């Protein structure tokens, strides 16, 4: 009896990747050839690139029927690209990859074998080194993971990549989370399921340069914290309570001093310090509340996560 071959969808988000895509395509067809017992679909998401990425994808999809693409109307960010890819993928298994070969396609056969033979629902990858990355960036990344894991119940694995192979069930669960402010690393652990982690050494990108500035990463980190924990709000409340208690003690001390010893005018430097300190904390807390409020504001608008301008079906 001949059973139907299973389908693996490879979702690749691309933003200005004209140099990397041809190299990536070569690698991926090699892997596809190796894994002859499964069918493949290569679903490229063009995230509003301003270079020749779209042209390259059009040509590839004409040449190779396994290549599909979705092209956004503008740059919506990698999170939106991954989400669109998951929503449009047809495979029994889906994997997310970067176009720059930093997620080695050569790991795929091993990942597939683990899911098939060891009964895991998904296989994630994490890099154990951050070779080739600026040290200051690695330092902040490590701090971020320490911090968020202390605050959030959902576990975030340090060094975890978005590169992972998932069964259809996992993918459908992730798609069912329709939030606008997406922080995938958190969403992956939020949905649960059995995940095995494969470790590998960091690989530097083959061509082009990283699309993440330090500032973009910083904002992404805040997004992760706001999306997965409300601990900062609790910290704000505690700071408020603590300052309130200190204030009461001070009021008594000052009253006592004034009544017993009279009121020589002194101590304005300490007063200035106290005012500065308290107003600083107030502004900080307002800022924290503002972060949550702004995310809530964006969620209530229910805007689409991405807008498609063109797909491979547009030009047949
Ligand atoms: N990417 C994207 N939209 C963006 C930024 C990046 O689709 O707004 C894609 C990019 O083309 C690449 C992947 O996301 O395939 C990872 O980006 P990059 O290599 O710049 O990040 P890094 O590996 O440095 O973290
Ligand atoms: Mg990269």
Distance 89 CA to ligand 2 centre (A): 22
pLDDT at 315: 66
Mean pLDDT over residues 226-230, rounded? 84
Rounded Cα gap, residues 243 and 281, in angstroms? 9
- Could you give the number of structural domains in the chain? 2
Q: Which of 170-174, 197-201, 287-291 has the highest mean pLDDT?
A: 170-174
Same domain, 87 and 203: yes
Same domain, 237 and 209: no
Kindly tell me if the per-residue pLDDT of 219 is higher than 80. yes
Q: Which ligand 1 atom sits nearest the alpha carbon of residue 14?
A: 11
The answer to the question of residue 35 being in a domain is yes
Tell me which of 202, 211, 215 to substitute to probe ligand 1's pocket, judged by most ligand atoms within 8 Å of the beta carbon. 211
Task: Find the range with the poorest average confidence among 30-34, 133-137, 296-300.
Answer: 133-137
Rounded Cα gap, residues 61 and 40, in angstroms? 13
38 vs 258: which has the higher pLDDT = 38
Same domain, 308 and 203: yes
List residues near ligand 1 (CB under 6 A). 13-15, 17, 47, 75, 77-78, 81, 98-100, 102, 205, 210-212
Same domain, 169 and 202: yes
Mean pLDDT over residues 294-314, rounded? 87
Same domain, 123 and 39: yes
Domain that holds residue 183: 7-213+304-315
Instruction: Provide CB contacts within 8 A for 180, sequence distance 6+.
Output: 298, 299, 301, 302, 303, 305
């Amino acid at each position: 009896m001949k059973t139907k071959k299973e389908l693996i969808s490879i979702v690749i988000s691309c933003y200005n990747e004209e140099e990397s895509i041809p190299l990536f395509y070569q690698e991926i067809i090699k892997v596809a050839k190796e894994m002859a017992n499964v069918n493949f679909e290569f679903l490229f998401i063009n995230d509003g690139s301003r270079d020749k990425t779209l042209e390259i994808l059009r040509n590839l999809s004409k040449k190779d029927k396994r290549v599909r693409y979705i092209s956004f109307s503008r740059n919506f960010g990698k999170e939106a690209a991954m989400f669109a890819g998951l929503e449009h993928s047809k495979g029994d298994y889906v994997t997310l990859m970067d176009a720059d070969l930093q997620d080695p396609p050569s790991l795929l056969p091993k990942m597939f074998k683990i899911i098939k033979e060891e009964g895991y629902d998904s296989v994630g990858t994490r890099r154990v080194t951050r070779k080739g990355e600026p040290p200051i960036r690695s330092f902040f990344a490590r701090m971020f993971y320490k911090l968020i894991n202390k605050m959030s119940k959902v576990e975030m694995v340090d060094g975890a990549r978005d590169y992972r192979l998932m069964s259809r069930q996992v993918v459908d669960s992730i798609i069912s989370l329709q939030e606008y402010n997406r922080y995938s690393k958190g969403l992956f652990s939020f949905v649960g399921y059995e995940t095995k982690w494969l470790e590998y050494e960091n690989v530097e990108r083959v061509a082009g340069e990283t699309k993440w500035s330090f500032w973009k990463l910083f904002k992404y980190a805040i997004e992760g914290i706001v999306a997965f924990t409300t601990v900062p709000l609790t910290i704000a409340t505690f700071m408020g309570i603590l300052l309130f208690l200190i204030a009461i003690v001070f009021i008594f001390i000052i009253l006592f001093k004034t009544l017993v010893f009279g009121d020589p005018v002194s101590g304005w430097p300490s007063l200035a310090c106290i005012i500065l300190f308290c107003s600083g904390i107030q502004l900080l807390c307002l800022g924290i509340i503002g972060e949550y409020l702004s995310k809530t504001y964006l969620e209530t608008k229910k805007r689409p996560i991405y807008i498609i301008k063109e797909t491979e079906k547009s030009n047949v």
